[in-house]
Amino acid sequence: MITGRTALYGVIGHPVAHSRSPEMQNAAFALLGVDAVYVALPVAPDRLDEALRGAHALGFRGLNVTVPHKQRAAALCLSLDGVAEEVGAVNTLRRGAEGWEGFNTDAPACLSLLEAAGVGKGTKALLVGAGGAARAAAWALLRAGATLRVTARRLEAAEELAGHLAQDSARVEAAQYADLADEAEAADVVVNGTSVGLHGQEARLPLRLRRGQIALDFVYGETDFARQARAAGARLVTGEQILVRQGALAFTLWTGRPAPEAAMAAAIGADAAAQGSAR
């Protein structure tokens, strides 16, 4: 039962109708008896500023942020946590008295899953993409100790991200997108930090994966990237796993309570610890 005392939460994106976050977060609220509701909020890129002001004025307690808003939303926050500052993007907002506090839970979620998969010092990583999700993945890969090559359809975007990261690490450089297949085959871990495979997108990445690699996909569902990874015998870390892990961290930021991560995974039909597959 939703009443005037029910706390409001949501996810903003464009598109966002496909999001599994409402199922996951509402299951967590129900299990722990939290009087709250979480909804999907479609926000076009040119309406983000007013949408965030409006959500704050309406009393929303917290928001998740997904494609394509993660970098712009960071610039609209009154404050950022240390990880969000380093990444340059947010995916979680918490209500402050005068505006939004920004956090990045994608990055630590990605880091924990990569380390569990075996990524460590000296791992050769290829990151495809240069947007908000890719920035979180880059942070995680470097924190795990990997050497990193970044590629994107626009070389200047990859070079900009590599240059940003190179301020803190000499273990990163840009790579030509035209060489994606060779770059992927040579890497120990390949990360899809693009929106390729997102709901309604049929495009595919021209990859060449192999057995023994780690392949991490920020997009969930049965994506072409996931199919390529399975067919090649790579160890797949899926978007569902990232969704659940970052969502659990967001839940704790909002409520101050440990998140029921297993129940959140079950709510979207995923075993977050064993399998998986953007917000």
**Residues forming the active site:** 70
- Report how far residue 4's alpha carbon sits from residue 2's, in angstroms, rounded to the nearest whole number: 7
What's the farthest any 2 CA atoms get from each other in the chain? 57
- Report how far residue 147's alpha carbon sits from residue 266's, in angstroms, rounded to the nearest whole number: 34
Could you give the C-alpha distances from 166 to 21, 90, 136, 162, in angstroms and in order? 33, 20, 15, 6
Strands (E), the chain: 7-13, 36-42, 62-65, 79-80, 92-95, 100-103, 124-128, 147-151, 172-174, 189-192, 214-217, 235-237
- Quote helix, strand, coil % in the chain, to nearest 5: 40, 20, 40
Strands (E), 212-252: 214-217, 235-237
SS3 37: strand
Q: Return the ∠ at Cα 29 (arms to 28 and 35), rounded to 5°.
A: 180
Nearest to 148 by CA among 97, 114, 197: 114
- Report how far residue 55's alpha carbon sits from residue 33's, in angstroms, rounded to the nearest whole number: 24
In this structure, are residues 128 and 154 in contact, taking their beta carbons and an 8 Å threshold? no
